[in-house]
Amino acid sequence: MRACLAKAALIGCVGLFLAGTPPLVCAQEKSELALNLAIVDGKLPKVLRLIQVHKGDKLRWRINSNTTGELHLHAYRLSAQLQAGQETELVFDAFATGRFRLEWHAAQDKRTPAATSHHAPPLAILEVLPR
């Protein structure tokens, strides 16, 4: 069963790579899923705007941005301070099912309270499905 899941994950990753999505890097080792999140001007490529995983998956996100700011994942209470051009890593377990907002706040947004509103579209959605 584990070999089938790993093969399916590899096939899915190769398919995404062939579809022209180089920012995405998939890996599955002992149910660890790795993603490269390259934020450019406060946005992710469309293919990364919905991240689907299963409850219990270990997630490793390597994050970089061309601008300085803060990334945070609602409900999981995770955040990362990013400096322009530097990589940051978030490693966590998908412990709660549901859909969770991943938000980006560029450093210049902190001066304008309206710009940091949670009513703006999220950077991405993390969808954690039950096993």
What domains appear along the chain, each with residue ranges and CATH number? Answer: 30-129 (2.60.40.420)
CB neighbour list of residue 106: distance below 8 Å, 6 or more residues apart: 42, 67, 68, 69
**How far, in Å, CA of 63 to CA of 79, rounded?**
11
Say how many CA atoms lie within 13 Å of 50 toward its Cβ.
5
Q: What is the pTM of this model?
A: 0.71
pLDDT bracket for residue 24 (50, 70, 90): very low
Q: Of 51, 91, 96, 43, which Cα lies nearest the Cα of 67?
A: 43
Say how many CA atoms lie within 13 Å of 54 toward its Cβ.
8
For the stretch 47-87, pLDDT in tens is 999 999 999 999 999 999 999 999 999 999 999 999 999 99
